[in-house]
Amino acid sequence: MKSIYLDYAATTPLDPEVFEVMKIYFLDKFGNASSIHRYGQIAKAALEESRLSIAKLIGAKPGEFYFVSGGTEANNFAIKGAALNAFRLGKNHIVTSEIEHHAVLDCCAYLESNGFEVTYLKVDSSGVVNPESVEKAIKKNTCLISIMLVNNEIGTINPIKDIGEIAKRHKIIFHTDAVQAFGKIPINVEELNVDLLSISAHKIYGPKGIGAIYIRNGVELEKIVHGGGQEKGRRAGTENVPSAVGFAKAAEKAIQNMKFENQRLLNLKLNFKQKICNLFPFVLFNGIESKSVPHILNISFDSSKIKIDGEALLLNLDLNGIAVSAGSACTSGSIKPSHVILSIGRDLDTAKSTIRFSFGKFTEAEDLDYVLMVMKEVVERIGIVL
């Protein structure tokens, strides 16, 4: 049976070249980067070199760049850290959007249960946050704005530069979750006007369990992980040197290949989309092509035209060797539709029939033709055309 992985937005395989540069830091150069002796100094040098190299790729100074355990921790640090710091100054209002990743939404919910007020902005039907709505939501006690750069489900790109200008004008800390954007679109923290930015290595063929946060000089955050004095005292825990080295290698390669790979994936996606249109007239495309990253394609089946269960479709594709993601989560036996798909205005049944395809460096045109062939058979078998 063929094996086709189309879930690169969930995670990517580790690049063997990345694995190669990491190996020596597990084996020979295994020192603790905080140790004073030679072993420690060798590890420390590799850590700092990696920091410098990734920081440069986003236009940050190395002193503004901190390693953490991944995108989730970076978001927790940014949101809880900024909020808890502002609380002391009497500010307790946060502005975010309905389509954020759960690593942002759940932090906001936690803060709400601890005395904060959160405004969840609606998005338009293409899944984009309107900067005007951000400005309108600002209050005297607003301490933080957090809006994602690229949405992980539908791939839309938000106007972060414009939102950043608004935040700057109102002197409010601005965070963006750039986990799905880093290595896919150019990022420069100065141009984007952001104060805090989250990234993660495993979305770009780097190791799992490492990410980073950019913290603009002068921005105060309450500590979230307490313990040792690592990362200039802002994030405790023995530094993950092998992963930091791997992250730097993966980041460097992603940026180098970005232009070529984006064009290749865009061609694949447009071709795939056209064939979906021809085969399945009842499919709706979520997001908007002109404001999207090329590696994500999200579709739903129009519930007024066809009855089909997204989860069953996904399982049938898996049985045929195709790995995609459902736009819904299965919790205690019931399918929970995606908050993103509902937010762009799809009805409940349409939202439950959502599939996310995400492409990567091993995706080829023949793979997508095979997917279409299998999907046609499965949709005809399990779908009920109304």
How crowded is residue 20: how many other Cβ atoms within 10 Å of its Cβ?
11
Return d(Cα 158, Cα 367) in angstroms, integer: 30
Beta strands in the chain (DSSP E): 4-5, 65-68, 93-97, 117-121, 142-146, 173-177, 196-200, 211-215, 283-286, 296-301, 306-307, 322-323, 325-326, 328-331, 334-337, 354-358, 384-385
56 Cβ neighbours under 8 A, 6+ residues apart: none
Number of residues that bind ligand PLP (CB under 6 A): 14
Span interacting with ligand PLP, options 60-68, 115-123, 174-182, 223-231, rule CB under 6 A:
174-182
Helix segments in 71-184, DSSP class H = 71-87, 102-112, 131-137, 160-169
Tokens of 83: 């909020």
How crowded is residue 142: how many other Cβ atoms within 10 Å of its Cβ?
22
Q: Is 207 in the site for ligand PLP (CB under 6 A)?
A: no
Q: Is 211 in the site for ligand PLP (CB under 6 A)?
A: yes
Instruction: Tell me which of 152, 230, 303, 350 binds ligand PLP, using CB under 6 A.
Output: 152
Q: How far is the CB of 150 from ligand PLP (least distance, A)?
A: 7
Give the footprint of ligand PLP on residues 223-262 (CB under 6 A). Answer: none
For residues 328 and 311, is the Cβ–Cβ distance under 8 A? yes
Q: How far is the CB of 46 from ligand PLP (least distance, A)?
A: 21
Tokens of 142: 């607003």
Give the footprint of ligand PLP on residues 84-113 (CB under 6 A). Answer: 101, 103
Q: If we measure between CA atoms, which residue out of 132, 117, 143, 140 comes closest to residue 165?
A: 132
Span interacting with ligand PLP, options 64-72, 109-117, 272-280, 306-314, rule CB under 6 A:
64-72
Q: Is 72 in the site for ligand PLP (CB under 6 A)?
A: yes
Residues classed as catalytic? 330
Q: How far is the CB of 39 from ligand PLP (least distance, A)?
A: 29
User: Between residues 68 and 241, which has the closer beta carbon with respect to ligand PLP?
Assistant: 68
Instruction: Tell me which of 180, 298, 325, 328 binds ligand PLP, using CB under 6 A.
Output: 180
36 Cβ neighbours under 8 A, 6+ residues apart: none
* Residue at shortest CB range from ligand PLP: 71
Q: Is 146 in the site for ligand PLP (CB under 6 A)?
A: no
Span interacting with ligand PLP, options 69-77, 82-90, 125-133, 222-230, rule CB under 6 A:
69-77
Instruction: Tell me which of 76, 85, 193, 200 binds ligand PLP, using CB under 6 A.
Output: 200
* Residues within the interface to ligand PLP (CB under 6 A): 70-72, 75, 101, 103, 148, 152, 177, 179-180, 200, 202, 211
